[in-house]
Structure 1
């Protein structure tokens, strides 16, 4: 998964106005206590970050 696909999926899940804000503020235990922005900046692959987001938001299986 590329970064562009990750951001597109996050915007689809949360809406374009809220996705970036959520990514910078919401801390995910599955990412080692980091936010999405921190995890991506640290080099965590977008696919791994998406799995953590998918789990945290309890999105449907089809969104995985």
Structure 2
């Protein structure tokens, strides 16, 4: 998944403001307790990051975005 597609999906699921907050503030166990911003900086594939987001917020992410 391209980085631009990742950010589009995150913003569609959470709204632009809250998406940035989640990216900066929420640590995901599936990403080695990294935030999204840290995982991207560390070179983790955005598909892997997106799967971690979906797993952490299954009721928040619409099925069409999985």
TM-score, shorter chain, exceeding 0.5: yes
TM-score where L is the length of structure 2: 0.90
Supply the distance in 2 between the matched residues of 1:56 and 1:50 (Cα, whole angstroms).
10
- Which consecutive segments of 4 or more residues in structure 1 shift more than 2 A? 59-63
CA contact (8 A) 2:13 2:62 kept: no
Identify unmatched segments of 5+ residues in structure 1.
none
Which structure is higher in strand share? Answer: 1
Higher relative contact order (CA 8 A, sep 6+): 2
Identify unmatched segments of 5+ residues in structure 2.
none
Asked if 1:8 corresponds to 2:8, the answer is yes
- Number of corresponding residues: 64
**Match of 1:57?**
57
Asked if 1:46 corresponds to 2:41, the answer is no
TM-score where L is the length of structure 1: 0.92
